[in-house]
Structure 1
Amino acid sequence: MLSARHYAIPISILISLVLQIMPLPIQVDMYRPDWVLIVLAYWCMALPNRVNVGVAFITGVALDILMGATLGIHSLALSLSVYVLAANYQRLRNYSVWQQAIIIGLLSALYHLVVYWLEHLLTDIYFQFAYLWPVITSMVLWPWVFWMLRKARRQMRIS
C-alpha cells in the first residue's frame, strides 16, 4: 500500500504548475516567480535519482499545454536548466541557502533567456527587461520554498 510520501514529489510539482498558471493582477503578473523551476530545482538537488531531466521535460510539456505555448519551449528550457543543476548537484548542496538562491537566479535567467530565444525564433518578439523580473522573485522565494520542501521531505521521510 502506497502512503502519502510516495506522492509528495508529484503533488508538489502539481502545486507548482497550479501556482505558475494561477491568474494574478496584471501589475503583479510580471513578477511571478518560476514556481515550477524552483520546485524541480529543490527535488533535483535533494533526490537526483527521482527527479531528473526526464521529469523536467515531462513537466515542461505539461507547462506548455497549460500556458498555451508552442509545444516544447518550456520543456526545453526546463530540461536545460535542470541538466545544469543535475550536473552540479553535489557541489550545490554544500552551498548555503543564500548562495543557492544566487544559483537559482542564474538558472532562472537561463530559463527565461532560452524561452525568449525560442519565442523570438518562432514569433519574432523583442526582448524587454520585464522578462527578467521573475529571476529576482525566484531568488527571493528560494530560501522559503527550500525550507518548506525540506521540512516536508524530512517529516515524510522521503528518500
Structure 2
Amino acid sequence: MNNRSFIIISIIIGIILQIIPMPSPVDLYRPDWLLLILIYWSMALPNRVSVGVAAFTGLVIDLLYGTSLGVHSFALSIPVYLVAANYQRLRNHSMLQQIMTILMLCVLYHLIVYWLQYWITGIEFSWLFLWPAVSSVLFWPWLFWLLRKFRRDLRVT
C-alpha cells in the first residue's frame, strides 16, 4: 500500500462512519469522524491533506446527506484551513491543549453548518446541535493515537 492510499482509505472510513445509520438517540451524539480525520491529516501532513481535500469530501457528504451543495464543504474547509495554517503550533501542543482546540473547531464546524442551513431553510437553533462536538473531543485522543501509529508504521509521508 502506498502513502496516498492509506490517507484515502482513512478518509473513506471517516465518510462511512459519518453517514452510517444509527438510532436517533445515539445519532444525536455521533462524533464528527470525518472532521477529526481531516484535522489529523492536515496537522500531520498539511502538504497532502488541506482545504481542497476538505472541500471535496464536504461535497461528497452533501451529496450523501442530501443537503444543499456546499454546506458541509464550506463548513469543513474553515476548520481544516485553520489547522493547516497553524499545524506547526498544534503539533507541539499537549493533548489537553489539542482537545480544547478540537472542541473549538468542532463547535465552529457545527455553527457554520447551522448558519448556512438557517439561511437556506430557516431551521431553528438548538443546543443539541453541539453535542457531537463533545463526543468528538472524547474520541480525539484515541483517534489521534491510532492514526499516528498507522502513519508511522506504514511510513506515510
TM-score (norm 1): 0.97
The aligned residue for residue 34 of structure 1 is 32
Aligned length: 157
Q: Name the CA distance, whole Å, in 1 between partners of 2:74 and 2:118.
A: 15
Q: Name the CA distance, whole Å, in 1 between partners of 2:82 and 2:128.
A: 24
Q: Please identify, of 126-135 and 3-12, the stretch whose mean Cα deviation from structure 2 is larger.
A: 3-12
Partner of residue 65 from structure 1, selected from 45, 63, 66: 63
Q: Which amino acid aligns with 2:104?
A: L
Q: Could you say if the C-alpha distance between residues 84 and 6 of structure 1 is closer, same or farther in structure 2, counting changes exceeding 3 Å?
A: closer
CA contact (8 A) 1:41 1:82 kept: yes
Shift of 1:97: 1.8
State the SS of the aligned residue for 1:69: coil
Q: Name the CA distance, whole Å, in 2 between partners of 1:6 and 1:122.
A: 36
The aligned residue for residue 151 of structure 1 is 149
**Residue by residue, what CA displacement relative to the aligned partner does 1:5-28 show, whole Å, maximum 9, x if unpaired?**
330000000000000001111111
The aligned residue for residue 10 of structure 2 is 12
The aligned residue for residue 131 of structure 1 is 129
Structure 2 residues without counterparts, runs of 5 or longer: none
Q: Could you say if the C-alpha distance between residues 87 and 5 of structure 1 is closer, same or farther in structure 2, counting changes exceeding 3 Å?
A: closer
Shift of 1:4: 4.2
Question: Pairwise CA RMSD of aligned residues?
Answer: 0.8
Q: Name the CA distance, whole Å, in 2 between partners of 1:6 and 1:127.
A: 39
**Percentage of pairs with the same residue:** 55
CA contact (8 A) 1:5 1:158 kept: yes
The aligned residue for residue 120 of structure 2 is 122
Shift of 1:98: 2.2
Q: Name the CA distance, whole Å, in 1 between partners of 2:128 and 2:90.
A: 28
State the SS of the aligned residue for 1:7: helix
Q: Which runs of 4+ in 1 moved over 4 A?
A: none
Partner of residue 101 from structure 2, selected from 103, 118, 141: 103
CA contact (8 A) 1:98 1:143 kept: no
State the SS of the aligned residue for 2:67: coil
The aligned residue for residue 43 of structure 1 is 41
Q: Name the CA distance, whole Å, in 1 between partners of 2:63 and 2:100.
A: 29
